[in-house]
Structure 1
Amino acid sequence: MPEDYEVGLDLEVFSVGRASAYIRSRHENPAGYAGLVQTVKADDYRGTRLQVTAMVKARDVVGWAGVWMRVDDAHDHTLAFDNMQNPERRIAGSVGWRRYSIALDIPENAAYISFGAVMERTGQIWLDDVRVNVVDDSVPVTDITSRFPRHPVNLDFENGTY
């Protein structure tokens, strides 16, 4: 809910330059999540691997935060996505300025690329020095959809739930 979070510009806390953007929960029980987003046309990036990097600082994040990117086709179907939500990559707790990165392949049928930062639950993050660059194949793709199994697994729950 928009009233549960504040998003703004911080002229006192930043990594480089003179300002950073922030997301902050307004109370102890916010619903949903809040994000910073910019969307660009995919025309100049089709057929490339695109990396988004950003400096992020976190204070008392309960839940998670991350840098994110989504690639959509002209019909708003998601073609590639990463938001750092998985436990090994998410930002939580309090962390000083650190550079985080994600990388996605941009298919030929891509129409739009959205990217930014996201935070769920309580705390505050700052985002600064965002960079969007075409990279070569030596940079691994972080697309969470590429990790989905090709076929259903564990349908009898013998291996627990996940």
Structure 2
Amino acid sequence: MKKLKNYLMAGASILTVLTIFAFKPIDFDDIKGWFLAGDDPKSYQIGVVKDQERNGNVGYIKSVKESKGFGTVMQSFIPSDYLGKRVRLTGYIKSKDVKEWAGMWFRIDGEDKNALGFDNMQKRAIKGNTDWKKYEIVLDAPQNSKAFAFGVLLAGTGEVWLDDLKFEVVDKNVPLTDITLKNSSPSKPQNSSFEDQN
């Protein structure tokens, strides 16, 4: 598999300030379409195993040594079919012994890898031991979107399994989960008289 260069917004201790980590993925030929990346990919391993509950193969990412960073099993593609639309990514995730946190993530890139939309589930992180559960991320894909990057990340130690990650176009009434600053900033001044305490 060719070495790919991508960027992933994440950070185990960052909630509102987003940082872009540049990284080189590790070559990994055993999972078609997927690769291992992150700011500390050598501390993680990815692969495929059979899972009876999911009735077939599932992917996984697990720590192989202590890490203060994160690893991710990920891929990216050109989003021609999704331009100008609201897009939902869904996926099934199960976790074991996740000490810090894990989450599905979805980033929409524009020119020069500028993030036009992003969510890594850090505000609703997966921790500890969890059974299979369906998760979702909803972002708007502007007309100038150049790439969708997505996957599941693991910060610190533990193991996470993933299955059936899918994209679909949804109605504009479906709430966004985007955590980028442009979506969390109000469009007008708020409570300038300090009388609104709700």
Please give the range of the TM-score, normalised by the shorter of the 2 chains.
0.7 to 0.9
Change (3 A) 1:114 1:7: same
1:81 to 109, 118, 133: 118
Is structure 2 residue 57 aligned with structure 1 residue 19?
yes
Q: Secondary structure at the match of 1:144?
A: coil
2:113 counterpart of 1:113: no
- Which structure 1 segments of 5+ residues have no match? 152-162
Matching residue of 1:91: 126
Q: Which runs of 5+ in 2 are unaligned?
A: 1-39, 189-198
Per the normalisation by structure 2, the TM-score is: 0.70
Matched residues in 1 for 2:187 and 2:113: separation?
A: 23
Q: Provide the rounded CA distance (Å) in 2 between the counterparts of 1:16 and 1:73.
A: 35
Give 1:24's aligned amino acid. K
Report which stretch shifted further, 32-41 or 98-107. Answer: 32-41
Q: Which residue in 2 is equivalent to 1:55?
A: 92
1:101 counterpart = 2:105:
no
The amino acid of 2:134's aligned partner reads: R
Q: Which residue of 2 aligns with 1:5?
A: 44
Match of 2:127, as an amino acid?
Answer: A
| Whole-angstrom CA distance in 1 between matches of 2:140 and 2:56 | 32
- Aligned amino acid, residue 115 of structure 1: F
User: What code does the residue aligned with 2:45 have?
Assistant: E
SS in 1 for 2:132: strand
- The one-letter amino acid paired with 2:166 is R
Residues 100, 118 of structure 1: CA spacing in aligned structure 2 closer, same or farther, 3 A cutoff?
Answer: same
Instruction: Give TM-score, length-normalised by structure 1.
Output: 0.84
Q: Given that residues 46 and 108 in structure 1 are in contact (C-alpha distance below 8 angstroms), is that contact kept between their aligned partners in structure 2?
A: yes
- Distance in structure 2 (CA, Å) of the matches to 1:82 and 1:95: 20
Question: CA RMSD for the aligned pairs?
Answer: 1.7
Q: How many residues align?
A: 147
In structure 2, what is the Cα distance between the partners aligned to 1:6 and 1:49? 33
| Cα deviation 1:103-145 (Å, max 9, x = unaligned) | 1000111111111111100110000111111111232110001
Q: Deviations over 1:29-82 (max 9, x none)?
A: 213101111211122111101111111000010111111000011321111000
